[in-house]
Structure 1
């Protein structure tokens, strides 16, 4: 698998971890404005990277999370969760 694709997937996973961590923190600290700002920033960055991945390599998730180019990319392998790093 090409190095750029793997690097992009790693960045997506890193940002997903950050967003999950901040989400859990905000569940118990809803008034923390800095944490909320951080969550919104990283969530936006994550969205951009997922759009970039889908544009170049196909969708990460089915069911309307992103559009697909022709031909339908979802059936191409390996799927993101099948990649060995």
Structure 2
């Protein structure tokens, strides 16, 4: 398997942490739909996740396929490891 720099793991961990917060806020908002502060937090974390994803993919390649991520040239989706393999 291809050797990856430490920064790859650091940035991937940041994304995973933000994803965790988004999932937790989603679950909370399912039962507290009128919590304005929680909705603001959710929207801020979604914005942060988009930024982190864009930066990660610019440096290391696509995180997802099926139209959710752009590809560098040449087509790189076949390159391992995929995010779920590390």
TM-score scaled by structure 2? Answer: 0.93
Pairing 1:5-44 to 2, within 5 Å after superposition: 5-44=8-47
Match of 1:50 in 2: 53
RMSD: 0.7
Q: Which runs of 4+ in 1 moved over 2 A?
A: none
For residues 57 and 81 of structure 1, the distance between their equivalents in structure 2, rounded to whole angstroms, comes to 14
Matched, 1:75 2:73: no
Instruction: State the structure with bigger RCO (CA 8 A, min sep 6), 1 or 2.
Output: 2
Residue 62 of structure 1: how far off its partner (Å): 0.3
For residues 64 and 79 of structure 1, the distance between their equivalents in structure 2, rounded to whole angstroms, comes to 16
Unpaired runs of 5+ residues, structure 1, are: none
Residue 3 of structure 1: how far off its partner (Å): 0.8
| Equivalent pairs, count | 83
